Each structure stands twice: as C-alpha cells, then as structure tokens.
Structure 1
Amino acid sequence: MKEKVKGWLAGLIFRLIAFCTLGQISPILSACVIVEQNGKILLIDRSDGLGFTIPGGIVRYGETIEQCVLREAKEETGYEVQLVGLVGIYSALKRDPRFRAVSIAYKGVIVGGTEHGSGEGLPCWRSPEEVSGAMAFDCEMMLQDYRCGKVRLS
C-alpha cells in the first residue's frame, strides 16, 4: 500500500509542476536491467499490485544512469549486477501511467549478492510466457525487444 501511495503522490506532484511550468518540464529519467538465467528473467512482483516489473527505478540527481540501475537492482533484489549491453530507450508518452518518464533498459548478469525483497516487492524468476499480459508499464515491450535482440531507440 505504501508504494502505491508514493507512486500516486509522485504522479500528482509531477503533474502539478508540469501545470505550473506550462508543460516546460523534462520527463523523469529511469533505468532498469534485464537479467536472464536458465531461461528465466529476474523480475519484481510489485507490492502495489501493478504486476511484474524489471528491476530498476528513477535516476537520482547525483548519480549516473548506470549507477542508478546498479543501485536499484541491489536495493530491489539483493543482487549485484554487471551491465553487459543495451536493450533500448523507451519514451512513449504514456509508458508510465503515474508520470511522464523515459526509461533506459540494459542487459545484465549477476556478479554477487544474495536475493532479498524490498518495499517495492519481491524478486522472482519467471519465464516470459509466465508473465505475458501481467507486466506493469511497458516492461513487456522491453522484454520482447530483449528476447529478439532488437535495440529500441524510441
């Protein structure tokens, strides 16, 4: 419930700022990482009930995009990951129903850590077929691009 309220509040605040600036505000930047092992993808079963997502989150002011995705993966799953490639850049206007956001998706591999959950939800390993139709935001599109090797730049 706490995560759902935080998402709702963030969306409200972002819309208020967009209104006050007459739309002259940049989208929020986020990043995520797709990790695959034995045909299963590392996902987060979100605690707010929105479905499954790829580990990731919003880039903080004082960090690079890469630092963000490594931090978010560690916070949400307990795993330390290494980035090994780019899946794509996702900037559809309504890709996140809470606020205007652009996301950069990476490929990664686990290099350490121990699995644990967070307030965001519980990490889990699922085949793409198991989560088809049950993924939040545009994570299903990211996963499809990852699986076919397409690098999306839009």
Structure 2
Amino acid sequence: MKEKLKGLLAGIAVRIIALVTLGQISPILSACVIIEQDGKVLLIDRSDKLGYTIPGGIVRYKETLEECVRRETSEETGYEIQITGLVGVYSSVERDPRFRAVSIAYKGCIRGGVEHSSVEGQPCWKVPESVLGQMAFDCEHMLNDYLCGQQCLS
C-alpha cells in the first residue's frame, strides 16, 4: 500500500508541475534490465498489486542509466548485475499511468549477490509465458521485444 501511495503522490506532483509549466516539462527517465536464466526471467511481484515488473526504476539526477539499473536491481532483488546489451527505448505517452516516463530497457546477467525482497515487492523467476497479461505498465511489451531474438550473452 505504501508503494502505491508513493506512486500516486509522485504522479500528482508531476502533473502539477506539468500544469504550472504549461506542459513544458521533460518526461521522467527510468531504466530496467531483463535477466534470463534457465528459461526464466527475473521479475518483481509488486507489493502494490499492479502485477509483475522488470527490475529497475527512476534515474537519479547524478547517475548514469547504467548506474541506475545496477542500483535499482540490487535494491529490489539483491543481485549484482552486468549489463550486456540494449533491448529498447519505450516512450509511449501512456506507458506508465502514474506519470509521463520514458524507459530504457537493457538485458543483463547476474554476477553475484543474494536474492532478497524490498518495499517494491518480491523478486521471482518466471517462465515468460506464465506472466503475460499480468504485467504492470509496458513491461510486457519490453519482455516481448526481448523474447523476439534478444538473449543474454555469457
């Protein structure tokens, strides 16, 4: 519930800023990583009950996209990751119902760490087909793009 409230408040704040600036505000930038292992992908079963998401989050002011992906994945799952490639850029105006956001999706591999949950939710490994129709935001679109020929390099 706390995460859902935070998302709602962030959305309201961004909408107020957009209104005050007459729409002259850049979208929020986010980044995520798709990690596949033994035919399953690493996902977050969100605590706000919105569905499954790919590990990632909003880029902080003084960090690179890649630093964001590594930080968010570690915070949300406990895993240390290596980025191995790019899946795509997602900029649909409606991709996130909370606020206007653009997301960069990477692919990667686990390099260490110990799995743990976070306030975002519980990490889990799922066969991709088992979560289709149950994913939040446009994560299903990202996952489908990944599955259409993009694989984690060893």
Return the TM-score normalized by structure 1. 0.96
Q: 1:65 and 1:135 mapped to 2: Cα distance? A: 23
Which amino acid letter does the alignment assign opposite residue 44 of structure 1? I
Q: 1:130 and 1:115 mapped to 2: Cα distance? A: 21
Pairing of 1:107-122 with structure 2 (within 5 A): 107-122=107-122
Unaligned 5+ segments in structure 1 are: none
Q: 2:141 and 2:7 mapped to 1: Cα distance? A: 21
Q: 2:109 and 2:125 mapped to 1: Cα distance? A: 14
Post-superposition CA distance 1:43-101 (Å, at most 9, x none) = 00000010000000000001001000000000000000000000000000000000000
Query: Residue in 1 aligned with 2:70?
Result: 70
1:124 and 2:124 are equivalent in the alignment: yes
Which portions of structure 1, spanning 4 or more consecutive aligned residues, are displaced by more than 4 angstroms? none
Which amino acid letter does the alignment assign opposite residue 84 of structure 2? V
Q: 1:93 and 1:73 mapped to 2: Cα distance? A: 25
Query: Residue in 1 aligned with 2:4?
Result: 4
Pairing of 1:46-65 with structure 2 (within 5 A): 46-65=46-65
Offset at residue 149 of structure 1 (A): 2.5
Which amino acid letter does the alignment assign opposite residue 30 of structure 1? S
Post-superposition CA distance 1:107-126 (Å, at most 9, x none) = 00000000000000000000
Offset at residue 9 of structure 1 (A): 0.1
Matched positions, count: 150
1:88 and 2:88 are equivalent in the alignment: yes
Which amino acid letter does the alignment assign opposite residue 11 of structure 2? G
Secondary structure, in 3 states, of the residue corresponding to 2:23? coil
Secondary structure, in 3 states, of the residue corresponding to 1:18? helix
1:133 and 2:133 are equivalent in the alignment: yes
Coordinate RMSD, CA, aligned: 0.6
